[in-house]
Amino acid sequence: MSKWEDNKAWFLVLPVFLVVAFSAIIPLMTVVNYSVQDILGPGDRVFVGDEWYRDVLTDFRLHEALWRQIVYSFCVLAIEVPLGIGVALTLPKKGWGVSACLVLLALPLLIPWNVVGTIWVVFSRPDIGLTGVTLNNLFGIPYNFTANPVHSWLTVLIMDVWHWTPLVILLCYAGLRAIPEAYYQAAKIDGASRFAVFRYIQLPKMRGVLLIAVLLRFMDSFMIYTEPFVLTGGGPGNSTTFLSQYLTKMAVGQFDLGPAAAFSLVYFLIILLFSYIFYTVISSFDKGEA
């Protein structure tokens, strides 16, 4: 039975399985248990069935936060992915410029999230911040991200673009560097235009890294918490209160563990659905191309 010979390799997966069990599956099971009960205290709980799910699914503030979140993630992807590809295409291919550009681009990725928020608070404040003061006094635009929802939205969005586009650039750059020179030479012989080279060589060859970039940026932007929490605190009003901020308010602020658990599961299922669709669509493109 030669079929069984290779199966010992599965034992190598065992440590990962244990880590995932303790870090993800067991906590997730606990969340499922919490979501059907009213947790009054340690050892003191009442079974409530689907009540929390009914509450969460008919909560209009949750619907608002969800729409805000979807629009936000869509904007993040629509800006960061094309911008990342564009910048990656213009980066130098050899010489000292490569290291210089890569180090400079990687800098925002090294900054902790709460510090990013703080930097942008200081940077954007209308009274002392560089952007705030410049926009207000030099260009006469009444910019104030703490009072105007549109301004606060734009600030959160630009902050994310500044923080995370470098990740997309680095991934795309790695994808571009992996294309063998022979493809470009063949394109040159055929007299292909710059756009044709991009459309038929570079873009298809970047699919793998773009899949990772889109998935990472989608999941991260959909779960964004720290930066808007520091920058706007969810305001003005509720205009930048995204799903995770609303969830934290419920679970930690009000200690409503049952409803927060139900909310977490709905949130998890939404992320799972979007990620699965992205993954399936992009990987089926890949198969079609191959």
Residues forming the site for another protein (CB under 8 A): 26, 29-30, 32-34, 36-37, 39, 42-43, 45, 47, 50, 53-54, 57-58, 266, 269, 272-273, 276, 280, 284
Pick the closest to residue 168 from 226, 228, 106, 120 (CA basis). 106
Question: Residue 39 or 215: which CB sits closer to another protein?
Answer: 39
| Cα 21 from Cα 33, distance rounded (Å) | 16
Q: How far is the CB of 129 from another protein (least distance, A)?
A: 43
Tell me the DSSP string of 31-76: HHHHHTEEEEETTEEEE-TTHHHHHHHT-HHHHHHHHHHHHHHHHH
Q: How far is the CB of 52 from another protein (least distance, A)?
A: 10
Q: How far is the CB of 34 from another protein (least distance, A)?
A: 6
Q: How far is the CB of 2 from another protein (least distance, A)?
A: 15
Question: Residue 58 or 193: which CB sits closer to another protein?
Answer: 58
Residue 132 and residue 143 in contact, taking contact as beta carbons nearer than 8 Å:
yes
Question: Residue 190 or 286: which CB sits closer to another protein?
Answer: 286
Question: Residue 32 or 100: which CB sits closer to another protein?
Answer: 32
Q: How far is the CB of 53 from another protein (least distance, A)?
A: 5
Residue 234 and residue 241 in contact, taking contact as beta carbons nearer than 8 Å:
yes
Name residue, tokens 């709905």. 266
